[in-house]
A = this chain, B = another copy of it.
Amino acid sequence: MGMQHTPLTMSRIISRGATLQPNSEIVTATDDGVRRQTYAQTVSRSNQLANALQRAGMEIGDRVGTFMWNGSRHVEAYYATANMGVVLHTVNIRLSPVDLEYVINHAEDKLMIVDADLLPTLEQLKERIPTVERFVIAAEPGLEDWETSLPNTIDYEEFIGDMPTVFDPPDIHENAPLGLCYTSGTTGNPKGVEYEHRAQFLHTLAICMTDAMSLSATDTLCGIVPMFHAMGWGLPWAGLMLGCKQVLPHRFMSPERLVDLMSQERVTLSAGVPTIWQGIKAFIEQNPKKHDLSQVSRLTCGGSAPPESLVEWYWDELGVEMIQGWGMTETSPLGTLARRTSKQWHLTASPSQLTQNSCKAGLLMPGLELDVFDEDFNRVPHDGESVGEILIRGPWICSEYFRDPQPSKFHEDWLITGDVGSIDPEENLIIADRSKDLVKSGGEWISSVDLENHIVAMDGIAQACVVAQPHPRWGERPVALVVLDDSESVSADEIKDHCSLKFAKWQLPDDVLYVDHIPLTSTGKLDKKTVRAQLDTDGYVLPDMR
């Protein structure tokens, strides 16, 4: 043995930021402004929380649930449980009551920390989540007088108030569980992904690489992606390790509030799904030059591929690089990342080429393996044309689901991601679709995402969603649902004509439906499952078959 085999536990990195930058701030949006606390205060309060959780009987490996927005107390819960060896189950606040009941019972959460404004949602379940012995209520300004029908509740401040501000982390194994996050579950019950210390330790170092998100101690991070979604893409951990200023929007998610926050707090990097950035773009276009966003340099965009028009707009109008990331709950989440400039030859490439780079899912993170496979699990060529199932493996990739192994989701030691795509000769991953959202027409695949991104780039179109509908001859055919911008009118023929600029005739949507809004999933993606169910309920049939 020549080197120390120090366990790679999160307690070894998460206090570094507070040590180096004790006065760096964590800013949480409130009803009428923001509230601030320093990293030094955050660590003291987190240690109080750890001591309080220990007094409440939480032991190494127990699950503590959070039912919370992004805010400083949620960061404290991350920090405290990681140091204790307790498992943080970040419950998705947008789940249906049925799924909520399932995940809380399946995880056997022993205690839950709940944002006061979210109490009504949980109260619906109060008789049906018996493992939860105690509810700790986090009250933001204006909500201090919370009341609830939930049993065994205590205010967060009272819970931690009299506790010591120091906490000595116990020794735990580097593969001990750290967090638990359930996938949104488009079919069947939600499935739990158990994050482990070592995996998140590695993921945290990796996302701080220059060629990843280029995170730095001098950054001001605004995590819009919920902290209940795949560990908030790792930003809370990276922030704690580096001492970045963190700006958290809590429940104030309107484009106006987000833009205000990013401008006033001088945010340098923010992270969210494309629908957030679409909304912010629309707001800025309606309110030009009202906000100073000159400090923003990078927006990290995940969850689904952004339209090229969106990437271009942010670069041209704001000088902001939209970094596309690809991953999922099962991949901790970062698998690939697309930067404008990631290779030697990009240094002299044209701006439009660089924008193209950002529209792909990008290059594989170091330490992982990824490839595209056909139905017999043979690797397909990296020609940018051959489409297949994306498989991935490596030290921060899920090996099985929590108490629900699901062997069909794995092939040997690879995770079958459920995404289909291709790899181009430059080794960029290009996502075609979720495998269940692909339209299979006459034996050929049509990418619903490609059609959507093409349609949404048209003037007058606010949103587009393409789903498959059954067809007796072709198997499936694509149908487009569109939301128009206010007071705009775009005909179905215009949309089809526009699509025919890029797509073959057989790939064009058979029908265009005008709707007022398109439902989104709990993680902000187009909810195609609901769209398809609604069409079914409405008795929709394709034009061919009418």
User: Which A residues contact B (CB, under 8 angstroms)?
Assistant: 1-6, 8, 12-13, 16, 19-21, 23-24, 175, 177, 193-196, 198-199, 201-202, 204-206, 208-211, 214-218, 220, 241-243, 245, 332, 341-347, 363-364, 366-367, 369, 393-402, 413, 426-427
Query: Do A393 and B4 form a contact, CB below 8 Å, given A19-B427, A367-B201, A427-B19?
Result: yes
Contact across chains for A214 and B218 when beta carbons are under 8 A apart: no
Contact across chains for A210 and B201 when beta carbons are under 8 A apart: no
Question: Which chain B residue has the least Cβ–Cβ distance from A7?
Answer: B395
Q: Could you say which of B241, B341, B363, B427 contacts A218, with CB atoms under 8 Å apart?
A: B341
Give every chain B residue within 8 A of A208 (Cβ-Cβ): 209-211, 366
Can you pick out 6 interface pairs between chain A and chain B where the beta carbons lie within 8 Å of each other?
A4-B394, A20-B426, A20-B427, A205-B367, A208-B366, A217-B344
Contact across chains for A199 and B3 when beta carbons are under 8 A apart: yes
Q: Could you say which of B195, B198, B205, B413 contacts A205, with CB atoms under 8 Å apart?
A: B205
Known: A4-B393, A6-B367. 19 other contacts (CB 8 A): A2-B196, A3-B194, A8-B202, A8-B367, A13-B367, A19-B427, A21-B344, A201-B367, A204-B366, A205-B205, A205-B206, A205-B209, A205-B367, A208-B366, A209-B210, A210-B210, A217-B343, A217-B344, A218-B343
The 9 closest A-B pairs by CB, nearest first: A2-B194, A3-B199, A6-B395, A3-B196, A210-B216, A4-B399, A205-B205, A208-B209, A210-B214
Shortest Cβ distance from residue A198 to the other chain B in the assembled complex, whole angstroms: 7
C-alpha gap A199/B13 in the complex (Å)? 16
Give every chain B residue within 8 A of A245 (Cβ-Cβ): 344
Give every chain B residue within 8 A of A367 (Cβ-Cβ): 6, 8, 12-13, 201, 205
Give every chain B residue within 8 A of A343 (Cβ-Cβ): 20-21, 217-218, 243
Interface of A, helix, strand, loop or mixed by DSSP: loop
Contact across chains for B344 and A6 when beta carbons are under 8 A apart: no
Q: Could you say which of B3, B13, B401 contacts A366, with CB atoms under 8 Å apart?
A: B13
C-alpha gap A199/B206 in the complex (Å)? 15
Give every chain B residue within 8 A of A6 (Cβ-Cβ): 367, 393-395, 397
Q: Could you say which of B23, B199, B211, B243 contacts A217, with CB atoms under 8 Å apart?
A: B211
Give every chain B residue within 8 A of A210 (Cβ-Cβ): 208-210, 214-216
Q: Could you say which of B1, B13, B16, B175 contacts A3, with CB atoms under 8 Å apart?
A: B175
Contact across chains for A217 and B8 when beta carbons are under 8 A apart: no
Contact across chains for A398 and B209 when beta carbons are under 8 A apart: no
Q: Could you say which of B24, B194, B209 contacts A344, with CB atoms under 8 Å apart?
A: B24
Contact across chains for A399 and B21 when beta carbons are under 8 A apart: no
Give every chain B residue within 8 A of A399 (Cβ-Cβ): 1-5
Question: Which chain B residue has the least Cβ–Cβ distance from A19?
Answer: B427
Contact across chains for B342 and A217 when beta carbons are under 8 A apart: yes
Contact across chains for B16 and A366 when beta carbons are under 8 A apart: yes
Give every chain B residue within 8 A of A206 (Cβ-Cβ): 205
Shortest Cβ distance from residue A6 to the other chain B in the assembled complex, whole angstroms: 4
Give every chain B residue within 8 A of A344 (Cβ-Cβ): 21, 24, 217-218, 220, 243, 245
Contact across chains for B205 and A366 when beta carbons are under 8 A apart: yes
Contact across chains for B427 and A242 when beta carbons are under 8 A apart: no
C-alpha gap A426/B23 in the complex (Å)? 11
Shortest Cβ distance from residue A39 to the other chain B in the assembled complex, whole angstroms: 10
Query: Do A175 and B1 form a contact, CB below 8 Å, given A8-B395, A209-B209?
Result: yes
Question: Which chain B residue has the least Cβ–Cβ distance from A175?
Answer: B5
C-alpha gap A190/B329 in the complex (Å)? 49
Give every chain B residue within 8 A of A4 (Cβ-Cβ): 199, 393-399, 413
